[in-house]
Structure 1
């Protein structure tokens, strides 16, 4: 087998390894297959390339442009994923494992591309939260905004997911408009190198947006500034060394960590043997022990079950684990492949021996198990190992030592409080799962264990057909955890993007805030146009363009007819005496939805035109009752414009409804889809 030279991509060029390179062995055969590392990489040059070229190019793009870039990147990776499958077998991963790592990583990029288009503006400023009125008259306001950091994101990734681990950090970073320098773990860096090569070959990314360090980062971290971010996945020991580095502390460099995690799974007291929940529990534990050979940061390390269910759980897990075929990961019949390296195998065996001082091994003998297929005995194989800790309150290692392999420990609990106490003994984890159909059990565990876990995964017969699994971090949801798990957060949709942006409070007049946010703010300068706004295309509409309607009187007959027509005969609209006894009403009042309907009748232009559809209302508030004899008028203003596809964009209108005295009676945002003008589009 030819020895592969795993390269770095630095300052726009590929650079091979040098004499400082480390050997990389196949997890399956134990043979040396590659070498990686170059001590001569110029870190200053890489940082200058990212900050001087990648950053400005990304920041010049809007969130929507970056999202389209991510979608194109994901599509390109998907077209070439077979190349990644083929090379990843050498890490010990099976084809099913590839679906987690490679397909999961590509899917994560697709999700961030979608969220960038749907939940972020077609702008370079992200508005966070609502306007804060800081003055009585509304001339001085506050708003939080987020803008791209001006530095570089350094991603230090773990060996177990060379593709997903890179892409789940890279997608929100690029969406934030920040360039990245990726440093994969050496044991599997040849997979990350190929993924970076595929992305760069596409020419989709701007120059300087992505660089790769295969091997040591040298003094890179010493050169970071307040505008940079370090995002790390790995051991707690390495995380501590990195986060306590003097340059990072002195310059307050952002540090996000996802580290060791003794995740737990709790079998609910209602999930007795013979129930669908019990069977689900056994399947989940088996999958989490064997997927990626247990080398998952979210794998189940502690199995917490009622005292009376310990024996049936052990018996059921023994049965399922005994059917797991161990061997050549490229063989489709293989259920579990190898650990990533011989070093990792040694680490797993040493830590399993620590667990065995407190717990009895009830399944799996690392000295006596069968390896199937073409895999060599010198490969980094271990069997699934199951332990039983009868006295978990007295144990230490089972709650403190993470065996990063197919190893898990069963322990009994007396009651639910005891179960949550045991789960919390891990001192912070990425995920805990609870298999129960009892809502009261779910709430008790959420209250008792929520503070110690980044994610709580509940499952039962009602949700199991569509659930994603205990160990599957989803890009929509926060991935991270307190304490031992690192105290950081990744993913979580737009929340993940914010790690690479600065939140800033801006204060000023409505006109100033409108200019900064690209959103018209009530009180800012209004623009009038001789044509009705509903006759103007998406492109022609201007922020702040305002249409004011004539007035319409609300009669008692209108209220009664609306009540009869809709069936809404609530007493406040129909019984004057009862309405007067209500502290909110002076007597009979108009329906809130009557006000909305009449408001629409005042501002809608009925002819066919650019307005294609009304897609909803946001922030609706009824501010003051409207009595029979009152009049209402409407002010309709263009608040925000967001392109949606090649044919139309979304217009957000601010609608303010006032009575004859000018008092606000209702306000809301109206959303419409409006066609672009001829020959235009996003």
Structure 2
């Protein structure tokens, strides 16, 4: 039976090249059976990019950041319902059930995480304010600030073969929230799994038109049709990354380029972590896990196991014992298999070649064999399967730990080298010899050793994973990039950053300096700026109009940015200060001892508590009757500026600064600008008040 060509998804429809066009066969990594064909002859790349820039940008732009984030949650739920079908495809790539969980469940988990963080940490708009405003004129009529808006092009991603689902989704999620359409180019050996996932994403009906396209096959001319509006994220070999980043459209045309490439990651066993300690046990477990999950085909796998000199043999023996006890190589569909095949016979040949080069450069095979291993077949029998890309775990040792090959040659499979170090400084030097890595583990229970190792290697690594007896059971692991933290590394590792929560969303946005009047900055950003127009209710003596309704009486549907309330003055007495001290137990001398307070360079004498003033401010601005304001859930950016002594008076002005409706609830957040002034107009304190407010005044409409 003829194997079907894996289609591409182009301009919101599935596309397949002519049957007689050039194609590449993809085989089951465990059996050698042809499972897919890939080809892209005739694919219109300029049309794909143009479709993303027009249709994709338009459709995504009709949604807010929160609305797009919510769609990610809906998509994650849909994909969760189809994991079983994805697992069936994944087994053919050599991935075990655990490997597939890391790839498929991990990718779905990224969608959930970004959905939550996007709705919790970003505004429900398409403009993101970056930092406070800077006054650029003495009278406050001219301000400067920074905003983030989405880049106006496409986010293209070229991915490696080892994580065909996670690798796509961890890049797709932040681009989608930012509002930037994606073009996915997976690696051919496992691209049929990516295609299966994209098919589910399309079939869900959740994604707007133009938000995702897929290239199944070669895309060598993709960069030719990209420009400064676009972004290319690459994961793969350093040699390919260097070729891509030297493209004229990157160097001269301004295409944003980020890469995550080869990485000779290290795990460092601390001087205190002797055999028998919890740290030694956790270290061995971590190394074997990283050698065997995905058959060592992970950009974060531990390639260099750096241990105190004299402890190398104990480490080798412990690695051997755990591998022999825990690792069963075979077809992932066979009961009992814990490590599957490499992704392809070509990949197997590359890894064997790299190991042979390392042995020729001075490495010694301390455990394992380059011969084809006896493995569990799909039927459960033990046999050598020449058509399968199977390989035994290998441990190398080196008499010369400074040999260039061990710090520059990566065998992208179940291979790690054990290296001995003299002291902590020497361990730092060996780790740094990798010339830039994604991650290193420091395994020790000695705080000083951990500090010295971490500070020493941090500049050479994108992430440092500290492991000891306290985290052995709870750590997410050396090789698990989490969506909350950045994933990337300097130097050889590519110099890029992925994931990192909202940081990665902003990677897909342009930061722009904005200058103008308070009113126009408010109009652009959707956030009230000091000096912009206000509609003030409350005390007429301070510019308010009695006819205006208190803003706490307004639902989100009625509330406008700039709606405000100004209170009367309230005079503070010495009795007020002393009563507050007695009732709260805050008897700090500045509030209770006049003589000591007068000696303090910051105070004019005995002064009111800052928290007394904040409490009074709430009493001054609150509207006591039930209404659309449901709850006060916090203060932010509180600063006490001018001390208040007995006999002084304070008043508060409260202004609706930012309104963020929740897309899933009948209420939203309102951020209020609160400023306390004294009787002389000096600012006493300022902060943001956060409240939850109904979208419509329904709960107490008849109150």
Pairwise same-fold verdict (TM > 0.5): yes
Alignment map for 1:440-459 (pairs within 5 Å)? 440-459=448-467
Kindly indicate whether residue 477 of structure 2 is the aligned counterpart of residue 469 of structure 1: yes
Kindly indicate whether residue 656 of structure 2 is the aligned counterpart of residue 652 of structure 1: no
CA contact (8 A) 1:59 1:148 kept: no
Matched position secondary structure for 2:691: strand
User: Once the 2 structures are TM-superposed, how far is the Cα of residue 633 of structure 1 from its aligned partner?
Assistant: 0.1
Report what 2:358 is aligned to.
355
What stretches of structure 2 of length at least 5 have no aligned partner? 380-384, 538-547
CA contact (8 A) 2:160 2:236 kept: yes
Report what 1:270 is aligned to.
272
User: Once the 2 structures are TM-superposed, how far is the Cα of residue 438 of structure 1 from its aligned partner?
Assistant: 2.1
* Aligned equivalents of 1:178, 1:679: Cα separation in 2: 37
Report the more deviating stretch, 437-446 or 18-27. Answer: 437-446
Q: Deviations over 1:80-130 (max 9, x none)?
A: 111100111110000000110000000001111111100111101111122
CA contact (8 A) 2:552 2:629 kept: yes
Report what 1:74 is aligned to.
76
Report what 1:225 is aligned to.
227
Report the more deviating stretch, 101-110 or 534-543. Answer: 534-543
User: Once the 2 structures are TM-superposed, how far is the Cα of residue 65 of structure 1 from its aligned partner?
Assistant: 0.9
* Aligned equivalents of 2:366, 2:378: Cα separation in 1: 28
CA contact (8 A) 1:434 1:458 kept: yes
User: Once the 2 structures are TM-superposed, how far is the Cα of residue 678 of structure 1 from its aligned partner?
Assistant: 5.0
* Aligned equivalents of 2:534, 2:15: Cα separation in 1: 57
User: Once the 2 structures are TM-superposed, how far is the Cα of residue 478 of structure 1 from its aligned partner?
Assistant: 0.2
Report what 2:164 is aligned to.
162
Report what 2:419 is aligned to.
411
Alignment map for 1:26-175 (pairs within 5 Å)? 26-175=28-177
Report what 1:428 is aligned to.
436
* Aligned equivalents of 2:268, 2:337: Cα separation in 1: 28
Report what 1:541 is aligned to.
559
Q: Deviations over 1:326-374 (max 9, x none)?
A: 0011224111000000000000000011222322111110216321132
CA contact (8 A) 1:17 1:36 kept: no
Alignment map for 1:176-187 (pairs within 5 Å)? 176-187=178-189
* Aligned equivalents of 2:672, 2:362: Cα separation in 1: 65
Kindly indicate whether residue 680 of structure 2 is the aligned counterpart of residue 664 of structure 1: no
CA RMSD of the aligned region, Å? 1.4
Alignment map for 1:200-279 (pairs within 5 Å)? 200-279=202-281
Report what 2:540 is aligned to.
none
Report what 2:309 is aligned to.
307
* Aligned equivalents of 1:389, 1:581: Cα separation in 2: 68
CA contact (8 A) 1:480 1:489 kept: yes
User: Once the 2 structures are TM-superposed, how far is the Cα of residue 608 of structure 1 from its aligned partner?
Assistant: 1.9
Report what 1:381 is aligned to.
390
User: Once the 2 structures are TM-superposed, how far is the Cα of residue 248 of structure 1 from its aligned partner?
Assistant: 2.3
CA contact (8 A) 2:295 2:341 kept: yes
CA contact (8 A) 1:95 1:332 kept: no
CA contact (8 A) 1:616 1:671 kept: yes
Matched position secondary structure for 2:98: helix
Matched position secondary structure for 1:455: strand
Matched position secondary structure for 2:685: strand
* Aligned equivalents of 1:112, 1:603: Cα separation in 2: 36
Kindly indicate whether residue 572 of structure 2 is the aligned counterpart of residue 554 of structure 1: yes
* Aligned equivalents of 2:143, 2:310: Cα separation in 1: 61
Report the more deviating stretch, 557-566 or 569-578. Answer: 569-578
Given the alignment, which residue of 332, 349, 371 partners 1:367?
371
CA contact (8 A) 2:628 2:697 kept: no
The alignment's TM-score, normalised by the length of structure 2, stands at: 0.95
* Aligned equivalents of 2:291, 2:140: Cα separation in 1: 59
Report the more deviating stretch, 430-439 or 614-623. Answer: 430-439
Q: Deviations over 1:368-394 (max 9, x none)?
A: 63211328332000000001123212x
Report what 1:188 is aligned to.
190
Report the more deviating stretch, 639-648 or 616-625. Answer: 639-648
Q: Deviations over 1:441-494 (max 9, x none)?
A: 222122211111000111211122221000000010000000000000001011
User: Once the 2 structures are TM-superposed, how far is the Cα of residue 136 of structure 1 from its aligned partner?
Assistant: 2.9
Matched position secondary structure for 1:192: helix
Matched position secondary structure for 2:438: coil
CA contact (8 A) 1:478 1:491 kept: yes
CA contact (8 A) 1:602 1:634 kept: yes
Given the alignment, which residue of 612, 627, 630 partners 1:612?
630
Report what 1:480 is aligned to.
488
- Count matched residues: 679
* Aligned equivalents of 2:611, 2:54: Cα separation in 1: 55
Matched position secondary structure for 2:514: strand
Given the alignment, which residue of 637, 642, 655 partners 1:637?
655
* Aligned equivalents of 1:65, 1:216: Cα separation in 2: 34
Matched position secondary structure for 2:227: coil
Matched position secondary structure for 2:5: strand
What stretches of structure 1 of length at least 5 have no aligned partner? none
* Aligned equivalents of 1:679, 1:228: Cα separation in 2: 46
* Aligned equivalents of 1:609, 1:435: Cα separation in 2: 56
User: Once the 2 structures are TM-superposed, how far is the Cα of residue 156 of structure 1 from its aligned partner?
Assistant: 0.3
Report what 1:8 is aligned to.
8
User: Once the 2 structures are TM-superposed, how far is the Cα of residue 399 of structure 1 from its aligned partner?
Assistant: 0.3
The 1:4/1:94 distance shift into structure 2, 3 A limit, reads farther
Given the alignment, which residue of 625, 629, 645 partners 1:627?
645
* Aligned equivalents of 2:374, 2:45: Cα separation in 1: 47
* Aligned equivalents of 1:129, 1:389: Cα separation in 2: 51
Report what 2:343 is aligned to.
340
CA contact (8 A) 1:326 1:383 kept: yes
Given the alignment, which residue of 310, 329, 333 partners 2:332?
329
* Aligned equivalents of 1:52, 1:409: Cα separation in 2: 50
Report what 1:400 is aligned to.
408
The alignment's TM-score, normalised by the length of structure 1, stands at: 0.98
Kindly indicate whether residue 564 of structure 2 is the aligned counterpart of residue 519 of structure 1: no
CA contact (8 A) 2:368 2:395 kept: yes
CA contact (8 A) 1:222 1:248 kept: no
Report the more deviating stretch, 580-589 or 136-145. Answer: 136-145
User: Once the 2 structures are TM-superposed, how far is the Cα of residue 558 of structure 1 from its aligned partner?
Assistant: 0.5
Given the alignment, which residue of 581, 592, 599 partners 1:581?
599
CA contact (8 A) 2:442 2:450 kept: yes
* Aligned equivalents of 2:334, 2:531: Cα separation in 1: 67
The 1:332/1:672 distance shift into structure 2, 3 A limit, reads farther
Matched position secondary structure for 2:608: coil
Kindly indicate whether residue 504 of structure 2 is the aligned counterpart of residue 492 of structure 1: no
Report the more deviating stretch, 669-678 or 655-664. Answer: 669-678
